[in-house]
Each structure stands twice: as structure tokens, then as C-alpha cells.
């Protein structure tokens, strides 16, 4: 009987004292409150968020869609914060326990606030996209990433301050470390600054075809903090440090308005003047009537007899296509080549090719000696 009494006393003592001065009954009630908010969290996900997603999809503006998607995470985290806050204030803690619980509550609220700010930054990119004349898409991406990193660092610093961890000495130590790193990473910062200048000056963007210092030619696939990825036409990727673009010439083929066709067509010297004029006029009319070719002051076309070469009479054909697309340009170029050949053949003319004529003034009077192996023995 005494054993049972001792067990009862210990059980009641544990039940009343519980953990951190909170009896077990209050702990169970607190857990029940927290679980209730977890159920509420599920209802938020299924009902409220789904309803907001349906409403946002009805509009043509993508800003509200992005705004709703960015707040899904914080909205699901909010019931956890409220559940822990209400459950903790329902329970009676000791002085030390209350301080710990209050710090946890402040930590959860701080995380929620900075999480909301972090997620709201994403919809800002759609607002900044309206400033495409001032900011490129890549520069906007850099700004968004930098803001997110800054918000994360500020949130982490706020949480550390709540737990009594002084960030001043940490920042001072990082400052000294940063100076040391800066001295050994000058190329990194040089590339970073050059990358920012590339985006601000809009020298090229992703998808542009560029030629760097007559060495690397290809399509820009990525503009990073340190380097730019250019893929050659043979699919070979080339990583170019950003500072190279500040020191070397860059030709951006995608910025030209038209693509040029420039041929020097050689005709045989036996071609008559009338034939040359008919061919010239026919090619001129062909280009004038074709909508694939540009016809303005900056992109005029020329079809003229240009020069006399060693083996041909050369006619210059120069025209600019309306399109800047490479595959479409090849199609137009092919059709023009076939049409010019048809015009030349219809005028009974022929294309010249490099040749040399050898003139012999006289042959020797002696007949050539016939080689007979038997007589030479």
C-alpha cells in the first residue's frame, strides 16, 4: 500500500510540475490548440488559397497570379505561428520558461514577417518589367536576387539578435575577411562590375548572336555575375569572363535591321552588252517585286556591272532582306540564286570560271623522236 502511495505522489508531482513549470494537463490542452491550428492550416490551403488562385486566373494580368503564388508559403506558416502563440499563452510557465517561450514566439513572428517581405519581392519583377527601356530582363533578375539575399541576411540578423547573439562582432569579422577576400578576388569584382555594365548598356541580351573579338561567335545563353555563356554554332559552350567584353570589341548581329546579300557574279567575255543589260534589268525587277527584300534609304539594293576580271565580266548584286532570321534568310538567298540562274540561262548567257589560255607561236620543224627501248641497249 505504501508503494502505491509513493507512486501516486510522484505521479501527481510530475503531473502538476510537468515541464518548465507547466502541468501536464495544460501541456495537453496546448498541444490540442496547436493541432487545431494545424487543421486550420489545411483548410486555408484547400479553401482560401485555392479560391484566390481561381480568382487570379480569371484575370489577364499575371501580377495577381504571382502575388498569390508567392504568399502560399507564408499563408500556410501563419496558422503555425498563431497556434504556438495561443497555446503558449494558455500555459503557465516559470519565469525562465516564459522568457524562452516568448523568444520562440518572437522568432516565429520575425521569420513570418521577413518571409512575407522576401516573397513579395518576386511580384515586383513584373512591375519592373514595365521599365524595359531602362532595365534589361537580366538586370531585373539580378536586382531581385540581390534583394532576396539582403532580406534573408537581415532576417537572420534579427533572429540572432532575439537569441542574444550580437551581430556587431560578426559583421566586423566579416568586414576584415571581406577586405582579405577583395584583395585576392579582384578579377571577381572586375567581372561583376563588367556584368552590371553589360546589362545597363544593353550591349546584348540572352538569345542574341554575337562575335567577340573575331574569335568567339555564337548565341548568348546566360549572363552571370562572373561570366557569360556563349554557345557556338557547333553547340560548343564557351564561358567568357565579363571583363573581356569591356576590353574587346563585340559585334551584335541580332541588332542589325536586315541581312545583306552581296554577290559578285562573273559572266563570260563573249556575253554581249544587250545580254548584260537584260540580265541586270531582270534581276532588278525580280528584287523590286519581291516583298522579302527591304527597299528604303538605309537598305537600298544595287545591280550593276562592276568590273572586268581576268576571266569574267563581273556584275555586283547587293540586296538586304527584310527578315533577320537566319533560316528565313537562307531560304530567300536560295530562291534568289535559283532565279538568277534561270534569268542567265533564259538570256543564253553563261557564267565564267577561272581559266587560262596558252598561245604557241610555232612548233619545231623536227618530228618528235620515237622512243624505242630496244635501240637504246
Averaged pLDDT for residues 208-220: 87
- Greatest mean pLDDT range, 245-254, 269-278, 348-357: 269-278
Least confident piece of the model among 134-138, 171-175, 178-182: 178-182
Confidence of residue 376 (pLDDT cuts 50, 70, 90): very low
In angstroms, rounded to a whole number, what is the distance separating the alpha carbons of residues 317 and 302?
A: 6
Does residue 278 share a domain with residue 146? Answer: no
Does residue 149 share a domain with residue 110? Answer: yes
Does residue 148 share a domain with residue 41? Answer: yes
- Does some domain include residue 300? yes
- Does some domain include residue 152? yes
- Does some domain include residue 302? yes
Does residue 70 share a domain with residue 201? Answer: no
- Does some domain include residue 354? no
Instruction: Give the CATH number of the domain where residue 272 resides.
Output: 3.30.70.100
Task: List CB contacts of 360: < 8 A, sequence separation 6 or more.
Answer: none
Q: Are 93 and 21 in contact (CB under 8 A)?
A: yes
Does residue 158 share a domain with residue 23? Answer: yes
- Over 50: is that where the pLDDT of 26 sits? yes
- Does some domain include residue 184? no
Does residue 69 share a domain with residue 47? Answer: yes
Does residue 279 share a domain with residue 266? Answer: yes
Does residue 333 share a domain with residue 303? Answer: yes
Name the domain count of the chain.
3
In angstroms, rounded to a whole number, what is the distance separating the alpha carbons of residues 127 and 118?
A: 16
Give me the torsion for CA of 50, 54, 56, 58, rounded to 10°: 180
Residue 288's domain comprises 259-346
Does residue 83 share a domain with residue 193? Answer: no
In angstroms, rounded to a whole number, what is the distance separating the alpha carbons of residues 94 and 100?
A: 10
Does residue 263 share a domain with residue 250? Answer: no
Q: How far is CA 304 from CA 261, 312, 315, 342, in A?
A: 14, 14, 6, 18
Instruction: Give the CATH number of the domain where residue 206 resides.
Output: 2.30.30.60
Q: Is the pTM of this model over 0.75?
A: no
- Does some domain include residue 339? yes
- Does some domain include residue 330? yes
Does residue 338 share a domain with residue 235? Answer: no
Residue pLDDT, tens place only, 194-206: 666 666 667 788 8
Does residue 108 share a domain with residue 35? Answer: yes
Q: Name the domain boundary from 239, 254, 269.
A: 254
Least confident piece of the model among 6-15, 136-145, 163-172, 255-264: 6-15
- Does some domain include residue 133? yes
Amino acid at each position: 500500500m505504501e508503494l502505491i502511495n509513493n507512486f501516486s505522489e510522484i505521479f501527481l508531482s510530475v503531473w502538476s510540475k510537468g515541464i518548465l513549470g507547466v502541468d501536464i494537463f495544460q501541456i495537453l490542452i496546448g498541444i490540442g490548440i496547436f493541432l487545431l491550428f494545424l487543421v486550420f492550416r489545411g483548410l486555408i490551403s484547400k479553401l482560401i488559397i485555392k479560391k484566390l488562385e481561381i480568382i487570379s486566373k480569371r484575370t489577364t494580368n499575371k501580377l495577381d497570379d504571382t502575388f498569390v503564388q508567392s504568399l502560399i508559403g507564408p499563408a500556410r506558416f501563419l496558422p503555425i505561428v498563431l497556434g504556438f502563440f495561443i497555446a503558449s499563452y494558455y500555459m503557465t510557465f516559470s519565469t525562465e520558461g516564459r522568457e524562452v517561450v516568448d523568444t520562440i514566439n518572437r522568432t516565429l513572428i520575425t521569420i513570418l514577417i521577413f518571409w512575407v517581405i522576401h516573397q513579395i519581392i518576386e511580384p515586383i519583377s513584373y512591375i519592373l518589367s514595365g521599365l524595359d527601356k531602362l532595365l534589361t530582363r537580366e538586370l531585373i533578375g539580378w536586382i531581385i536576387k540581390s534583394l532576396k539575399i539582403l532580406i534573408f541576411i537581415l532576417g537572420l540578423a534579427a533572429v540572432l539578435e532575439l537569441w542574444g547573439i550580437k551581430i556587431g562582432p560578426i559583421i566586423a569579422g566579416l568586414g576584415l575577411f571581406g577586405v582579405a577576400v577583395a584583395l585576392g578576388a579582384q578579377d571577381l569584382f572586375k567581372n561583376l562590375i563588367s556584368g552590371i555594365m553589360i546589362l545597363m548598356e544593353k550591349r546584348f541580351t540572352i538569345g542574341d548572336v554575337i562575335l567577340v573579338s573575331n574569335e568567339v561567335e555564337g548565341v548568348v545563353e546566360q549572363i552571370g555575375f562572373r561570366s557569360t555563356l556563349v554557345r557556338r554554332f557547333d553547340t560548343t559552350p564557351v564561358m567568357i569572363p565579363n571583363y573581356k567584353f569591356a576590353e574587346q570589341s563585340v559585334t551584335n548581329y541580332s541588332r542589325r535591321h536586315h541581312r545583306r546579300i552581296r554577290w559578285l557574279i562573273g559572266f563570260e567575255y563573249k556575253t554581249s552588252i544587250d545580254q548584260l543589260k537584260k540580265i541586270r534589268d531582270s534581276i532588278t525587277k525580280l528584287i523590286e517585286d519581291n516583298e522579302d527584300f527591304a527597299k528604303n534609304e538605309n537598305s537600298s539594293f544595287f545591280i550593276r556591272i562592276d568590273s572586268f576580271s581576268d576571266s569574267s565580266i563581273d556584275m555586283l548584286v547587293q540586296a538586304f532582306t527584310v527578315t533577320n532570321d537566319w533560316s528565313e534568310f537562307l531560304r530567300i538567298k536560295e530562291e534568289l540564286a535559283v532565279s538568277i540562274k534561270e534569268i542567265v540561262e533564259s538570256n543564253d548567257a553563261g557564267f565564267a570560271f577561272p581559266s587560262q589560255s596558252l598561245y604557241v607561236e610555232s612548233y619545231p620543224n623536227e618530228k618528235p623522236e620515237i622512243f624505242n627501248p630496244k635501240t637504246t641497249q
